[in-house]
């Protein structure tokens, strides 16, 4: 549930205090996606061993 009035109006990423907001994932609509990107990058960069 989004409680922040700025997040309701325009979204967390467009908020002027987005970078320093300590509660953007609690009362706002921000959901971090960095973890998914890091995992995909590691999987793509590491070659898979071939089964013999």
* Rounded-to-integer distance, Cα 12 and Cα 33, Å: 14
pTM of the model: 0.54
- Summarised one tens digit per residue, pLDDT across range 19-50 is 999 999 899 999 887 655 555 555 556 566 66
Eight-class DSSP state of 41: H
Cα 33 vs. chain centroid, distance in angstroms? 3
Q: What is the token pair recorded at 24?
A: 């953007």
Mean pLDDT score, 6-14: 93
pLDDT at 12: 92
């Amino acid at each position: 549930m989004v409680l922040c009035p700025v997040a309701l109006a325009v979204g967390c990423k467009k908020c002027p205090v987005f970078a320093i907001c300590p509660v953007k994932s609690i009362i706002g609509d921000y959901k971090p996606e960095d973890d998914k990107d890091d995992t995909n990058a590691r999987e793509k960069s590491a070659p898979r061993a071939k089964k013999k």
